[in-house]
Amino acid sequence: MRTLIKGGQVVTAVDDYVADVLIDGETIVAIAHDIQVDADKMVDAKGQYVLPGGIDPHVHMRMPFAGTETIDNFTSGTAAATRGGTTTVIDFPLQPRGQGLKETLDKWHGLLANDEPMIDVGFHMIVTDLSDGKLKEVPGLVDEGVTSFKLFMAYRNSLMADDETIFEAMCAAGENGMLTMMHAENGGVIDVLVRRALAAGKTGPKYHESTRPAKAEAEAVHSALAIAEIAESPVYIVHLSAEESLEHVANARKAGQPAYAETCPQYLFIDSSVYDLPDFEAAKYVFTPPARAKHHQDALWRGIAADDLAVVSTDHCPFCFADQKRMGIDDFSKIPNGGPGVESRLQLVHDGGVRTGRISLNRMVDILSTTPAKLFGLFPRKGTIAVGSDADIVIFDPSRKETLTVETQVSKVDYSSYEGREVTGSPTLVLSRGEVVCENGAVVGKAGRGRFIKRAQHLGTLPGTPITNSIRIS
């Protein structure tokens, strides 16, 4: 099957030019001006951007949390991703304490196979416990294409790893070419603040914010950077939300430390005023870290522009308002933490970042696709538009307006964090390895066509398909 995309504005992290793009099977095979070949499908992309498919390196499908599970499985979650121009997601097998890493990975492979994803999926490993020789399993993970850990400095008695485990995991990551992703919040401080709030009768969802202060995040970011430096290992701070945390990352980077960080749309577009919403509505915004005061947003945008924030991921972690969030109706600490977002990232960042002049179009592609591909061992197979790369492509109309709403959402979750927000710029066609998976907002991809993708080591390359047959393009 050959697809020819005609006359679009091809935008990568570094290029911006008008060209035709020819796809043969799953692969981009030619990029040139005015390609004249027979194709099974012609796409007129005049006036539209031709972007590399988004890579969202932080999503949670079927994540067990607080006695429930995120509402999207790999089928609905990956379908939702296509609507937002995302063609690869990286999810998180979660090691229950005492269980082996390989055993955990095998379980998640079972879930993935059962669910039939629509787009390609990679895995990071959430490590909670490295006792009893589990460290020896680390090289095996790399062989399986799982080349990053996630560690938690919060959620004692469930996800939280102690400093010893964090240090050992980071050392092993460094030795094995892996990247450690860190959920940086001081769990001990937060636990005390939560206990005190509840004891004082402060049980509503608004207290999620005041019990997880920015300083508790910044302190943990500082600590994570220091431990990574001692371990001589690269570190990636996930869902960074606060100006003071960003300062620590910026300082570490200035000093030459291999330190990276991501933020998420919820920290760029939602501020802490949502916690004043009446009638338990604030529970929709109980994600962690919480939404911050508005001034943090400007700092985060500056951090993106300056490359101190390397990636915007979504931390898609959807729990339904009607039943799951209500588990914490009498106690905010029992509200499952997380919010949806996998299908609105590109539109929000384009509308609120590019159209406002905060970042360039190239930078948008960089933070949503190219840099995640490079950091997480997917480049250049994914993350760019180049001959030999997977034909993961988004045709994006920069002037097409859409209103974000639960009514048109693909995710199974029952609310949108951005209900009623109008955005300008929308994907019109999304291709995953050459197949149309979403067209004008309608998901048309087949469940089960997505594959598990074995990733290369941190900053390593994953070669695309070599183009062996030269083709006549004119």
Query: Which residues of the chain form contacts with ligand URP (CB under 6 A)?
Result: 60, 183, 239, 287-288, 315, 317, 337-338
Give residue 202's Cα distance to chain centre: 32
316 scored as a contact of Zn ion (CB under 5 A)? no
Q: Per CB under 5 A, does 315 bind Zn ion?
A: yes
Tell me: does residue 183 bind Zn ion (CB under 5 A): yes
Residue 313 site contact among Zn ion, ligand URP, none (CB < 5 to 8 Å, cut-off depends on kind) = none
Distance CA 193, CA 216 (A): 11
**373 by DSSP, 3-state: which?**
helix
Q: How many CB atoms lie within 10 A of CB 55?
A: 28
366 binds Zn ion (CB under 5 A): no
CB atoms within 10 A of CB 413: 30
Closer to Zn ion at the Cβ: 182 or 394? Answer: 182
Binding piece for Zn ion, criterion CB under 5 A, among 111-119, 123-131, 176-184, 258-266? 176-184
| Of residues 31 and 59, the one with the C-beta less far from ligand URP | 59
Minimum distance between the CB of residue 378 and ligand URP, rounded to whole angstroms? 20
Sign of CA dihedral 222, 91, 302, 384: positive
Please, which residue, 60 or 350, has the CB nearer to ligand URP? 60
Given a contact cutoff of 8 angstroms between Cβ atoms, the answer to whether 413 and 71 are in contact is yes
Residues in the chain: 474
Residue 381 to residue 209: CA distance in whole angstroms: 40
CB 462 within 8 A of CB 469: no
CB 243 within 8 A of CB 289: no
Which of Zn ion, ligand URP, none binds 337 (CB below 5-8 Å, type-dependent)? ligand URP
Q: Which is nearer to Zn ion, 50 or 182 (CB)?
A: 182
- Rounded to a whole number of angstroms, the minimum distance from the CB of residue 60 to ligand URP is 6
| Tokens linked to 469 | 């047959």
d(CA 276, CA 54): 33
Supply the DSSP string of 211-235, one letter for each residue: TS-HHHHHHHHHHHHHHHHHHT--E
Give the nearest distance from C-beta 392 to ligand URP in angstroms. 25
DSSP one-letter code for 317:
-
The reply on whether position 217 binds Zn ion by CB under 5 A is: no
- Where residue 173 falls (left for φ over 0; alpha for ψ -120 to 50; beta otherwise) is alpha
Between residues 178 and 317, which has the closer beta carbon with respect to ligand URP? 317
For the bound state, the minimum distance from the C-beta of residue 123 to ligand URP, rounded and expressed in Å, comes to: 15
Closest to ligand URP by CB, 183 or 253: 183
Nearer to Zn ion, 183 or 345 (CB): 183
CA–CA distance, 427 with 210 (Å, rounded to integer): 37
Q: Which two tokens stand for residue 263?
A: 């933020």
Nearest residue (CB) to Zn ion, 62 versus 183 = 183
CB of 189 to ligand URP, least distance (A): 16
Minimum distance, C-beta of residue 227 to Zn ion, in the bound complex (Å): 17
Q: Least CB distance from residue 434 to ligand URP, whole Å? A: 32
* Binding segment (CB under 5 A) for Zn ion, from list 23-31, 178-186, 278-286, 426-434: 178-186
Which segment (22-30, 240-248, 309-317, 427-435) binds Zn ion by CB under 5 A?
309-317
Residues engaged in binding Zn ion (CB under 5 A): 183, 315
